[in-house]
Amino acid sequence: MKEICIPIPHFGEHQIAEVEVTVNGKKKKYNYRVESFPWGIEENETNMMESVSETQIKINHLRELLNQYDDSWEIVQIFTPNEHAKHIQVLFRQRQAEPVV
């Protein structure tokens, strides 16, 4: 098992949760962040809907935003938005520096 799900009450957007875990006597610390990104179609994109679905336009827009995101954070999960959502939430984990051996 590589992952453990830990519910964190009242964890809002743009906050960082620090999680410390001890495995086999060794402590590791992880940082997580939830960000919201726009989940909609801009006016200039509506003409593309004849050849590409609305969902595909939204996914492409999100992909562009994620490609520009800080490289020190990796994507853990992209949450499914509600049907009429204006934003989509993404969970990130801060990358760990590789230990020097």
User: 27-43: per-residue pLDDT in tens?
Assistant: 988 888 888 898 888 76
pLDDT of residue 74: 93
pLDDT of residue 51: 66
Q: What is the pLDDT of residues 59-92, one digit of tens each?
A: 999 999 999 999 999 999 999 988 888 889 898 9
Q: Give the CA angle between residues 63, 68, 69 to the nearest 5°.
A: 95
Strands laid side by side in the 73-78 sheet: 16-23, 26-38, 87-94, 73-78
Strand blocks (E) in 1-101 = 16-23, 26-38, 73-78, 87-94
pTM of the model: 0.75
pLDDT of residue 46: 64
Residue predicted with more confidence, 72 or 97: 72
